[in-house]
Amino acid sequence: MLEKVLTQMIEHECNKLAERYHNYHNGVEFEHQRNKRRIKNPPKKEINVPEYWNQDKKFNPFYVKKHSTQIAKSLAKKLENGTYEPFPPYVMFVDKKDGGKREIVVYQIPDAVVSTYIYQRLMAKNKHRFSPTSYAYRNDRNVHFAIQDIAIELKNHPRVFVAEFDFRNFFGSISHEYLYEQLDKNGFLVNSFERNVISKFVQQNEEGVPQGTSISLFLANLACWRLDRMLEDAGLRFARYADDTVIWSNSYEKINKSYEIIYKFSVDTGIEINFNKSDGISLLCHEGMPAEFGKTKNHIEFLGYKLSGNKTSIKEASTLKIKQQISYLLYRNLLQPIKPTVLKAVTIPNNNEDPAFVTAIMQIRRYLYGKLNDQMLRLFLTGHYKRLTFKGIMSFYPLINDEEQLKQLDGWLVATILNTLKLREKILVSRGYNVSGQFPFNMNKDNLVEVCRKASVKGKVGLIQIPSFMRIYKAMQQGIENDGIEFTMNPKSNTYNY
């Protein structure tokens, strides 16, 4: 039975990783063909494989899938007789925003599958033991449930004290002694078989839990169980997503206890509080509202959201990333191909047609909407479509309701498109191509949206309709009302890097 389960899980993991690699390969090929059409001497196509594939074949999904039956049989035997040991993972480091390094750990596919198998067993028996306001790494909770709960609480309390503390190197610092103590306490159901596998993964590090495995997700919530209970016993409201925690209370006396609790947790677990990134205790109130407390704020940021008492927005850092990606799509399609001194196979706009402009708008729409288009959104909003699947970048923010921010983003998008078109026109004219006066260079902020909405491209209306943050927001709101958060949100929300 175990061998059969492991075989299925190995094949599933291999299929997922293989699809990810095929998508990368197809993307490189698409970009190469695009460069051949537009650049005189395009760079050679380079197809890379992850470095760790060369370290051991069991990192390679194609190899592992081919030998899944034999690998599963060997794994099952080792697990059943207690001799299983995970192989050392591949470790690499990436730069962090604050200038530090983030450790990335990749386990061989068979070991990753064992970790997932144990995690699923543990969660099936124990998820009811975790706090209802602990939202990470659970199939009955998600990031947007946390955001919704916080937003409702803040809306109902226009003046509330909040505490925000950040931990340094959370996963890498948890005391092993503390972890093993938690396995024996608090009613968690962990048998000797599961405990043995946990210890094999944990003991690979002198301290902390092994990142890059599913087991570490269960252990992270296990380690925070005592923290959650202390906050609850103190009468504090909170939302925790892994090590991201926001705490609030109407009582100044109670909110002060939050630091004592956080500090005790830090000492017990060996996880250091990062005071440089901790805002500490503040009074959250509406902008302009009188406050006798010295440190006030009108919003908090949690994951990718910015929350105040009366609205939920996309936080500024996330908004900037969205703007940068859209700007890049415009640059790549409208400016980059015409910058070289010698143009090759670049289609010059003519007869009120600019194929590069069509491509740019379609790519922006796909980035924001996924596979949806404006006609589908319109039919959904008018009741002709009963359900839509949201997959674009905006589906990672289904709970926003800051319409002013969305209107500003729509205005920014129109202005950025127009500015890019002006620069494209300037470059083309300097090369001897008189494109002035023809579409889309004859557009302005007053008619761009309407003209593009009605324009026909090869007999199709809507291909160059300017996407709208406001429109996709309204469609997601209707989706949530009809089908709930889980169906409307992007299915990868819990793993998205907010």
Q: Provide the CATH number for the domain around residue 143.
A: 3.30.70
Domain check: are 7 and 27 in the same one? yes
Write down the H helix ranges in 279-390.
316-330, 355-369, 374-381
Tokens of 425: 């026109």
**Domain termination site, one of 309, 335, 355:** 309
Q: At what angle do helices 469-483 and 355-369 cross, to 10 degrees?
A: 30
Nearest residue to 131 (alpha-carbon basis) of 223, 252, 254 = 223
Nearest residue to 238 (alpha-carbon basis) of 101, 131, 396 = 131
Domain check: are 173 and 297 in the same one? yes
pLDDT 10s digits, 33-66: 877 776 667 778 888 999 999 999 999 999 999 9
Q: What is the mean pLDDT of residues 444-473?
A: 93
Domain check: are 144 and 273 in the same one? yes
Q: Tell me the residue range of the domain where 14 lies.
A: 1-85
pTM of the predicted model as reported, rounded to 2 decimal places = 0.88
Domain check: are 428 and 284 in the same one? no
Residue 395 lies in a domain: yes
Number of domains in the chain: 3
Domain check: are 139 and 224 in the same one? yes
**Domain termination site, one of 309, 342, 358:** 309
pLDDT 10s digits, 321-374: 999 999 999 999 999 888 876 666 577 888 899 999 999 999 999 999 999 999
Residue 34 lies in a domain: yes
**Helices and strands, number each (H, E), in the chain:** 18, 14
Domain check: are 280 and 339 in the same one? no
Domain check: are 292 and 352 in the same one? no
Domain check: are 327 and 253 in the same one? no
Residue 200 lies in a domain: yes
Domain check: are 321 and 255 in the same one? no
User: Is the pLDDT score of 291 beyond 80?
Assistant: no
Run of H or E including 495: none
Residue 495 lies in a domain: no
DSSP state of 445: T
Write down the H helix ranges in 138-240.
143-156, 170-173, 176-184, 192-202, 214-223, 225-233
**204: number of CA atoms within 13 Å, CB side?**
22
Residue 184: band (very low, low, confident or very high) from pLDDT cuts 50, 70, 90: confident
Domain check: are 67 and 50 in the same one? yes
Burial (CB < 10 A; 0-12, 13-18, 19+), residue 148, is: middle
Run of H or E including 245: strand 244-249
Nearest residue to 404 (alpha-carbon basis) of 324, 326, 475, 306 = 306
Domain check: are 417 and 321 in the same one? yes
Domain check: are 72 and 186 in the same one? no
**Domain termination site, one of 274, 290, 309:** 309
Residue 101 lies in a domain: no
User: What is the C-alpha to C-alpha distance for residues 134 and 224, in angstroms, rounded to an integer?
Assistant: 9
Across the chain, mean pLDDT equals: 90
Region of residue 157 (phi > 0: left; psi between -120 and 50: alpha; otherwise: beta): beta
% pLDDT > 90, the chain = 69
280-285 and 296-297 strand pairing: parallel
Residue 112 lies in a domain: no
User: What is the C-alpha to C-alpha distance for residues 483 and 477, in angstroms, rounded to an integer?
Assistant: 10
pLDDT 10s digits, 87-110: 999 988 877 766 677 778 899 999
Residue 114 lies in a domain: no
Beta bridge partners of 273: 167
User: What is the C-alpha to C-alpha distance for residues 211 and 197, in angstroms, rounded to an integer?
Assistant: 15
Region of residue 302 (phi > 0: left; psi between -120 and 50: alpha; otherwise: beta): beta
Single-letter amino acid, residue 19: E
